[in-house]
Amino acid sequence: MRIVIAGGHGQIAQRLERLLSAGGHEVAGVIRNPEQADALRAAGAEPVVLDLESATVEAAADVLRGADVAVFAAGAGPGSGVERKDTVDRGAAVLFADAAERAGVRRYLVVSSMGADADHPGDEVFDAYLRAKGAADDDVRARSGLDWTILKPGMLTNDAGTGLVRLEASTGRGPVPRDDVAAVLAELAETPATAGLTLELVSGSVPVSVAVKAVAGE
């Protein structure tokens, strides 16, 4: 398959690129900064330079044409303020979904966050982040033109992945290594029967492939 990942230089995205390219897939990563291109090539992905904060839907659709799966893994990142939580974590996610529909890419994976909720209260930057992610999730869920799956990991760590997870509609809070988040995304990309599901993910005791098959009803 050809898989295009928004936020291609992110920590989860680079792990996902390595897994997908090792699995024989053709992978492209959308980045804003051309200086990140070599890191993507090292991960086995083709770098595509496009700023999703300022791009048109048509420009993003051009990147997605011919893809089998679109993955939204972009984020404003730590240190960014309330405004960029809205322009990236919500706005870019909506733009990328618009572009996927225009390009005819039905399979759409979203890396969201546990606690994401458009009505989340609070005045801190992290509260704004959860509202932005929640609004983006709501937008994607309302689209009949996408076979979407939304993944909400718990607290992300850089611990080595165990390959053992808990993946359910509601897991309760807990940590999860970025390695295992990427492994679940790679499995979801190959499991279209998970379309229409919003899933929470934390570390657990079930192998990734078994956990994904279980939520897919396979």
For the record, the structure tokens of 149 come out as 């799956």
pLDDT of residue 218: 81
Out of 68-82, 128-142, 150-164, least confident range: 68-82
Active site residue 108: no
For residue 82, pLDDT beyond 90: no
Average pLDDT, the chain: 96
* Alpha-carbon separation of residue 103 from 60, 64, 108, 146 (angstroms): 9, 6, 12, 11
Range of lowest pLDDT (79-83, 115-119, 191-195)? 79-83
| Three-state SS at 93 | helix
pLDDT given for residue 80 in this prediction: 82
* 15, 54, 73, 93 from 108: Cα distances, Å: 18, 21, 11, 11
Average pLDDT over residues 20-28: 97
Write down the pTM of the prediction.
Answer: 0.96
pLDDT of residue 189: 97
**Among the options 128, 129, 185, 201, which is catalytic?**
129
pLDDT the model gives residue 84:
87
State the Cα–Cα distance between residues 179 and 19, nearest whole angstrom. 10
pLDDT at 78 over 80: no
Give the pLDDT of residue 92. 94
What pLDDT was estimated at residue 9? 96
The CA–CA distances, whole Å, from 105 to 26, 39, 146 equal: 15, 26, 7
Q: Which residue has the higher pLDDT, 79 or 28?
A: 28
